[in-house]
Structure 1
């Protein structure tokens, strides 16, 4: 019982850390700070620290509680970020935002419920890890070029973070010399660690750029793309499947549709969107006698 309570507390702390970090990043994005300028902004380093603290709290929560408890509580990041962001802006959260957040949260919880975690000892082999890194980098490049801003960048951020998590599991297996296939040399483990750092940093910077289009909708997409990327890797390379067989696939499809509706509601009703330019009013013509 004590371990479960500790897992809940750590999960809520993780969600709060991620939410505060997202609000800080959104404030920096609203100020138009460039990538180089961010390094000189204390708020940016607070965001980095909060993201790191959230990740550590999440890992610690998984140590004390099951994934089926920790992951749903982690999905509360979006719900926590909305009132915090609104408080910073001196306003109340709108009804459309709450509806969008609840739809997104429902879809995310449905996905988490049917996406099974990797079995103990499951990890990518070195060739698989390198292939995943290459394909992901190419996909992120396409999203950045075509997505340009907002949800495209948020998708790229979530994918990068999800792949970083999968590669972290591979690094852990490599350090323990339990990687599938031949035991890796030290430089191969170092290469995997570098890839983890690159994708983790890339996910953070991409989310920073995505928040220029607002807070709620990009944050929702990041939270959805992260587990989706991990699920694709698990199904394609680790022999996993959705829980419940065909019913699990159906739940995943419905949950994805529910979450997509939530994102659309957040995009349409959330603040922070760039308003469409108003057409200039015609100047009055002089009256000729």
Structure 2
């Protein structure tokens, strides 16, 4: 059943849950990245040893489950912009844990982000496309993504800490963008063919692999350097990659013409700018 209204509701619930998980894992990253002796000198292993980290992972998994439900009702072009609103929830949660108030500047940028997302979802009126792309199209898309990801990871390994955090954050966003499209396909396969369809299709295994790699790279980006460098990259990288894949693989479309594309372009730029500003403020 296609219902953008239900997709919006579940996407908002997903954004809230993701925000909780992000705050918890940020706290763990801050506690472990400065302790090289913990867990045999590995910040990632040190994080995994903390119960709070697993709480953050469970929140992330629950948020992802809600995202899958949202994608079952609506298009990527509806769900992905709304997930960016997780920053709206991250700000007050971070402020509460840090014992501070949300500033007027943060509120202003949050308002701009909300308006931008509203324009993309309401003005754009996205149309659904195909749920399961052709295998040939998938092979090309995955090959391009793999080359880009491997190259960026190699380059990140030769850069200073903050640049490495930024690059790994962007890699995380790219992986999560692919994960969103795989999720859409998995939902369609399960709806049409049930559990047997998932077991006999490659998309389900691809989804699990992508999710595991994405979670690991995300934690590495948190521990590589300042969170204000990694969080903006991963937060904005995911919807942009999902937008591109939604258009090219799933053939989803916005219902705008002529000057309407100017409004959509401005909204996208505002969403990117406000996301970068808010994600940096949320971890300052």
| Range class of TM-score, shorter chain | 0.7 to 0.9
1:145, distance to aligned residue in structure 2 (A): 4.2
1:203, distance to aligned residue in structure 2 (A): 2.6
* Cα distance in 2 between the residues matched to 1:216 and 1:101: 17
Task: Give structure 2 stretches of 5+ with no counterpart.
Answer: 34-41, 157-162
Query: Deviation per CA, 1:77-129, whole angstroms, max 9, x where unpaired?
Result: 1111111112212222333433343334443443444372533x532122222
1:170 to 185, 188, 206: 185
Distance 1:257 1:155, change over 3 A: same
User: For 1:116, what is the secondary structure of its paired residue?
Assistant: coil
Distance 1:220 1:106, change over 3 A: farther
Q: Normalising by structure 1, report the TM-score.
A: 0.72
User: For 2:270, what is the secondary structure of its paired residue?
Assistant: helix
8 Å CA contact retained: 2:173, 2:234: yes
Distance 1:67 1:36, change over 3 A: closer
Larger Rg: 1
Task: Give structure 1 stretches of 5+ with no counterpart.
Answer: 178-183, 274-289
* Cα distance in 1 between the residues matched to 2:176 and 2:273: 23
Equivalent position of 1:54 in the other structure: 63
1:118 aligns with 2:128: yes
Query: Deviation per CA, 1:188-212, whole angstroms, max 9, x where unpaired?
Result: x1x3322211222233233334445
8 Å CA contact retained: 2:21, 2:57: yes
User: For 2:219, what is the secondary structure of its paired residue?
Assistant: helix
Equivalent position of 1:205 in the other structure: 216
1:258 to 259, 266, 270: 270
* Cα distance in 2 between the residues matched to 1:169 and 1:7: 12
Equivalent position of 2:89 in the other structure: 80
8 Å CA contact retained: 2:128, 2:253: no
Query: Deviation per CA, 1:243-268, whole angstroms, max 9, x where unpaired?
Result: 21344532332123212332453477
Equivalent position of 2:38 in the other structure: none
Query: Deviation per CA, 1:122-164, whole angstroms, max 9, x where unpaired?
Result: 3212222233222212222333344643443333222211211
| Aligned residues: CA RMSD | 3.8
1:231 aligns with 2:243: yes
* Cα distance in 1 between the residues matched to 2:71 and 2:252: 20
Equivalent position of 1:45 in the other structure: 54
Query: Deviation per CA, 1:61-92, whole angstroms, max 9, x where unpaired?
Result: 56678989866654431111111112212222
**Number of positions where the alignment pairs a residue of Structure 1 with one of Structure 2:** 262
Equivalent position of 1:192 in the other structure: 203
> Which one has a larger percent helix, Structure 1 or Structure 2?
2
Distance 1:69 1:163, change over 3 A: closer
Query: Deviation per CA, 1:227-283, whole angstroms, max 9, x where unpaired?
Result: 222221132233333321344532332123212332453477x2645xxxxxxxxxx
Query: Deviation per CA, 1:10-40, whole angstroms, max 9, x where unpaired?
Result: 5543222111001011112212162233332
1:16 aligns with 2:16: yes
8 Å CA contact retained: 1:99, 1:262: no
8 Å CA contact retained: 2:232, 2:276: no
